[in-house]
Amino acid sequence: MSVNTWVEINLNAIVHNFHEIKNYVGRDVCVLPVVKSDAYGHGACEIARILAKEGVSFFAVNNVEEGIAIRNLGHFGEILVMGGLLTDDLDSILEYNLIPTVHSIDWARHLSDKASKRRQIIKIHIKIDTGMGRLGINCDEAKDVLKEIVKMPYLKIDGVYTHFSTADEVDRSFLFEQIKRFEKILKNVPMGKNIFTHVCNSAAMLDFPACHYNMVRPGLALYGYVPSERIKNQLNLIPAMSYKSRVLVIKDVLPEKDISYGQTFRTKRRTKIGIIPVGYGLGYFRCLSNKGYALIHSRKAPVIGRVCMDQIVLDLTDIPAAAVGDEVVLMGTQGACEISAHTMAKWTGTISYEILCSLGRNIPRLYLWREERQGHVDIYERIDERRERKYIREHLPIDNSVNLPKSE
């Protein structure tokens, strides 16, 4: 069965980005890869599997279900659940040896009661709300709450953290205020030795090395992007995700003819159009109607007319070589041209995070991995867990390999 629209995940790029981050923060700082929301659409299990081979033993997820999925891979390391949990999750936390985030004294008491009944010590990370206004123990309550938690014998404090609300903004004044509040709590409440202290998401990690403490939490950077174009890509990050389709049909259309729903586009010349089997049902936002472009033969093909649920129309008039079956790059690189997640975010009025996460849903993922040995390169291609593994290239001379970053 052929796949006409897919998301391509370059696993070598993930490994490359991880080592770029690790070299940047130094050997004394633990890199905690954030694989929540299915690894920002890249596939949490595949990303965790490949990073575990690189020595990663600690992952961060959003909820218990994500943590269980990583544990079921055979991962024996640590898994931090950063999101809010309910009492229904307590048994799973203990059964799968997950590290919950404690964000209130009530939640700490629930954990303590369950752990004491089972005579099982639970590692926890404590989250302080220094100004994000979401989960976390309020700063003005933190001293008393932490003193109570320290006395709970079945809760072992493994880490303490906070989250910045303006790390990717130009005005850094509030970020400095959050650091000040966090430091004050660390100073006033002894929580034991050898615990992880972490505050840096990708933006703060890149912009504020002094705040690395002994752990950082890269998410977007791991997948090849800086959180804001204001932040310099000083690590040579490589985007791991591409979004591709194929030309399904080519038609010649006369001038003054309407294209797609609503008569929002009318041809002004004899136009060669291409029908592409992708739409908002497969992650291509409807708001891209009559704006944006795709890449065919390393040239820009404008989107014309409204985006439908499962089809878009491209203007191929200026790409005479375009043919049925040709690759269409909706996001990614083709030759010297690129459409990045940042570019798509500008077109749609959102952020790159949302673009990546939305593309991971309902679209087949194709994983690419390259290995070099004995003067040759083996290149593997695999559809995600729902489909079988196969090889697209095998034992090629290195100079004939496809354009994938080398594994570290």
The owner of tokens 């390169």 is 377
pLDDT tens profile 280-339:
999 999 999 999 999 999 999 999 999 999 999 999 999 999 999 999 999 999 999 999
Catalytic pick among 261, 291, 391, 406:
261
Q: Which pLDDT score, from 0 to 100, does residue 336 have?
A: 94
Domains and CATH numbers, the chain: 11-222 (3.20.20.10), 241-359 (2.40.37.10)
- Mean pLDDT over 14-36 rounds to 97
Q: Which pLDDT score, from 0 to 100, does residue 189 have?
A: 78
The owner of tokens 């880490």 is 159
Neighbour-count burial of 58, counting CB atoms closer than 10 A to its CB (0-12 exposed, 13-18 middle, 19+ buried): middle
27 pLDDT above the threshold of 50? yes
- Mean pLDDT over 371-387 rounds to 61
Neighbour count for residue 262 (Cβ, 10 Å): 10
- 223: annotated active-site residue: no
- 293: annotated active-site residue: no
pLDDT band at 236; cut points 50, 70, 90? very high
Catalytic pick among 22, 24, 36, 225:
36
Mean of the per-residue pLDDT values of the chain? 90
* Cα distance between residue 225 and residue 140, in whole Å: 36
Residue 88: phi, psi to the nearest 5?
-65, -20
Q: How far is CA 12 from CA 249, 272, 293, in A?
A: 33, 37, 27
